[in-house]
């Protein structure tokens, strides 16, 4: 009979250890997610200039440099969540699902920024081509004027 009374306490100790382990896992994943979300937010803020028009080449480069670390952090979080989800159940599984949703949202936000920066790079390339074309037109006009001057009959 005393064994029967002790069994719930044995389970309690095991369950407590599992809860502590689950809480630590959640804290780790949540901390990494917070870092990832912060990096994605930095990139988003840097690329916000694209809403106002063409970004400078230095702005695009600076945003590009932040994309890789942000993307890597999001991937790390997603892999960590998948690893932790295996065999998880109950509240832990629900929390991990919530974290996974947030990580996927960060990935989606980052993908939007990448698309925006691609358009900015295309805009910069178009500006460079336009500038080059204008230079060539100016040189062609100068050459045309020189040719016309050379063809003018010499009055004298």
Averaged pLDDT in 10-residue chunks for the chain of 156 residues:
78 79 86 93 85 84 91 93 84 88 95 92 93 96 91 68
3-state secondary structure of 156: coil
Residue 111 lies in a domain: yes
Confidence at residue 155, expressed as pLDDT on a 0 to 100 scale: 59
Residue 11 lies in a domain: yes
Structure tokens at 115: 């698309």
Residue 130 lies in a domain: no
* pLDDT, tens only, 128-150: 999 999 999 999 999 999 998 88
Residue 135 lies in a domain: no
Backbone torsions φ then ψ of 89, nearest 5 degrees: -155, 165
Q: Which domain holds residue 19?
A: 2-120
Residue 132 lies in a domain: no
Contact call for residues 110 and 47 (beta carbons, < 8 A): no
Q: Name 71's Cβ contacts closer than 8 Å, sequence gap at least 6.
A: 107, 110
Contact call for residues 120 and 60 (beta carbons, < 8 A): yes
Number of domains in the chain: 1
Measured CA to CA, the distance from residue 85 to residue 106 in angstroms comes to 19
Residue 57 lies in a domain: yes
Confidence at residue 88, expressed as pLDDT on a 0 to 100 scale: 80
Measured CA to CA, the distance from residue 43 to residue 71 in angstroms comes to 10
Q: In terms of pTM, does the model score above 0.75?
A: no
Structure tokens at 15: 């369950």
Contact call for residues 29 and 97 (beta carbons, < 8 A): no
Measured CA to CA, the distance from residue 105 to residue 108 in angstroms comes to 5
Residue 143 lies in a domain: no
Q: What is the CATH number of the domain that holds 8?
A: 1.20.58.70
Residue 68 lies in a domain: yes
């Amino acid at each position: 009979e005393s064994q029967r009374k002790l069994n719930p306490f044995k389970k309690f100790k095991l369950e407590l250890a599992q809860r502590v382990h689950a809480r630590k896992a959640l804290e780790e994943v949540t901390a990494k997610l917070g870092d990832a979300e912060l990096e994605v937010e930095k990139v988003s803020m840097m690329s916000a200039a694209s809403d106002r028009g063409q970004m400078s080449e230095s702005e695009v480069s600076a945003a590009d440099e932040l994309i890789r670390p942000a993307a890597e952090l999001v991937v790390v979080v997603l892999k960590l969540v998948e690893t932790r989800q295996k065999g998880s159940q109950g509240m832990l599984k629900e929390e991990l699902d919530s974290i996974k949703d947030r990580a996927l949202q960060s990935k989606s936000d980052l993908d939007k920024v990448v698309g925006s920066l691609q358009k900015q790079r295309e805009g910069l390339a178009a500006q460079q081509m336009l500038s080059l074309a204008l230079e060539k037109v100016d040189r062609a006009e100068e050459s045309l004027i020189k040719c016309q001057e050379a063809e003018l009959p010499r009055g004298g």
